[in-house]
Amino acid sequence: MSDGIALISTFSSDDECAQGIEALHRAHVHDFSAFAPFPSEKILEATSEARGQGRSPVRWWVLTGGITGILTAIALTVGTSYEWNLNVGGRPIASIPPYIIIMFELMILMGGLSGLLGFLFHSCLPAFDSAAGYRSRFGADKFGLVVRCAENEVSRLESLLRDAGAEDIAREAVITQGVPSHH
């Protein structure tokens, strides 16, 4: 049994795609996702406005990573110095100025790595099954907008997307939370 239709509309420019998103937003339709070959400012603004999201949470991963790095460095440098208490060239056992360099480097290292992890985590990567309505051209030269809706809304949304400038709109029946079954 099929409970809903996925409208897969293709745009040739990111402007039109963005307009389509805004149109959907005005029509209070939020169950959509957009595809683009590059990070288009317009599309990203439109989507985050439609979804009412703030900026990406990856920032917090990076911040935590960085702070961890600094703390690790302090522990490592100061800790190991007092482990042996060696007089080296008459310098203090723990000479902070040189240690700052270690702290800086570890901050960068850990911040960067945790940033990468955050990015993969929030983008649900790696994911080797293609999402509903993905078309390979979306990776090349076309922009896609995939909307889920009930049977009765199809015609309204189609016209709405056409007005936004969709070149072509395909329909697919959607199994709940599933991959669209092509027929």
Partner 1 sequence: MAAAVETNLQPSYIDIDRNVQRAMAPGGLKYWLWVAFCAFLTALGMIFWTNQIYKGLGVTGYGQPNMWAVYITDFVFWVGIAHSGTLISAILFLFRVRWRTAVYRCAETMTVFAVLTAGLFPLIHLGRVWFFYWCVPYPNERFLQPDFRSPLVWDFFAISTYLTISTVFLFTGLIPDLANAREVSTGWRKTLYTILSFGWQGTDRQWRNFSMVYLLLAGFATPLVLSVHSVVSWDFAMTQLPGWHSTIFAPYFVAGAIFSGCGLVLTLIIPMRKLMKIEDLVTIWHLDNLAKVVLLTSLIITYSYATESFMVWYTQDPIEIMTFNQRYYGPQGYLFWMMVACNCAIPLLLFIPRIRTNTVCLFIISIFVNIGMWLERFVIIAGSLATNTEPSQWRFYVPKLTEVVITVGSFGWFLMNFSLFAKFMPIVSMTELKEGIGWLRHAVRETYPYRKAA
Partner 2 sequence: MSDGLSRRSFLKLAATAGAAAAIPGCEPAARKIIPYVVPDENVIPGVPTFYATTCSECPAGCGLVARVREGRVIKLEGNPADPISQGSICARGQASLQGLYNPDRLGKPHKRAEDGSLQEIAWDQATKEFNDRLAAAAEAGKDRIAFIGASQGPTLDKVTALWLQAYGSARLAFWERIGEEPARAAADACFGRRDLPLYKLDQAETIISFGADFLETWGSPVEYTRQYADFRTPRMRKGGLTLGKAAYVSARLGSTGARCDEWVAANPGTEGAVAMAVLNVVVNQGWISRDSGVAADAVKNFAAAYDPHTVSEQSGVPVDTINKLGAWFGQADGAVALPGGDDPQTYIAAYILNAVTGNVGRTMVFLDGSPAEAVTRPDQVKTVIQAIRDGQVDVVVVAGGANPVYSMPPAWGFAAALKRVPFVAWMGDAPDETAAAAHLLLPVHHALESWRDTAPRAGVYGLGQPVMQPVFPSRALHDVLIESAHLGAGASAQSIPWENASDAVNAAWQDLQGKLAPDSTGQAFWDDARRKGGVFREAKPAAVKLGSAVLAQKLQPKAASSGPLTLAAFPHIFFYDGRGANKSWLQEIPEPVSQIVWDGWAEMHPDTAAQLGIKESYESTRLYAGIDVVQIDTPNGPIETAVHITSLVKPGVIAMPIGQGHSSYGRYAAGRGANLWAYLPEGTRSLGVQARKTEKRHQLVTPMGKGDMMGRSIIEAMSIGDLVKGVVPEVEGEPHLEGVPHEMYEPFKYTGHKWGMTVDVNSCTGCSACVAACYAENNIGVEGKDNVALGRIMSWIRVERFIPRADEESHGPLLYIAPIMCQQCDHAPCEPVCPVFASSHTSEGLNAQIYNRCIGTRFCENNCPYKVRRFNWYAPEWPEPLNLQLNPDVTVRGAGVMEKCTFCIQRITTAEINARTENRNLVDGEIIPACAQACPARAITFGDLNDPNSAVLKRRADNKLRNYTMLPENNALPQVTYLRTLYREKA
Q: Closest Cα partner for 29 from 123, 142, 124, 158?
A: 158
Position among 89, 152, 155, 177 found at the interface with partner 2 (CB under 8 A): 89
Nearest-approach distance from CB 91 to partner 2, in angstroms: 6
Q: Does 82 bind partner 2 (CB under 8 A)?
A: no
Chain-centre distance of CA 27, in angstroms? 25
Q: Does 168 bind partner 1 (CB under 8 A)?
A: no
Contacts of 140 (CB under 8 A, 6+ apart): 37
Q: Which range in 23-31, 47-55, 80-88, 113-121 contacts partner 2 by CB under 8 A?
A: 80-88
On the question of a cis peptide bond just before residue 126, with omega within 30 degrees of 0, the verdict is yes
Q: Does 86 bind partner 2 (CB under 8 A)?
A: yes
Partner from partner 1, partner 2, none contacting 90, C-beta within 5 to 8 A by type: partner 2
Nearest-approach distance from CB 152 to partner 1, in angstroms: 26
Contact yes or no for 174/180 (Cβ under 8 A): yes
Q: Does 90 bind partner 2 (CB under 8 A)?
A: yes
Residues 83-102 that bind partner 1 (CB under 8 A): 83-84, 86, 88, 91, 95, 98-99, 101-102
One character per residue 118-157, x = contact with partner 1 (rule: CB under 8 A): xxx-xxxxxxxxxx--x-x-xxxx----------------
Cα dihedral 83, 84, 88, 92 in deg (nearest 10) = 40
Compute and round to an integer the Cα radius of gyration of the chain: 25
Contact yes or no for 51/30 (Cβ under 8 A): yes
Hey, what are 69's tokens? 């790095």
Q: Does 81 bind partner 1 (CB under 8 A)?
A: yes
Look-up: residue for tokens 């400012």? 41
Nearest-approach distance from CB 99 to partner 2, in angstroms: 12
Q: Does 10 bind partner 1 (CB under 8 A)?
A: no
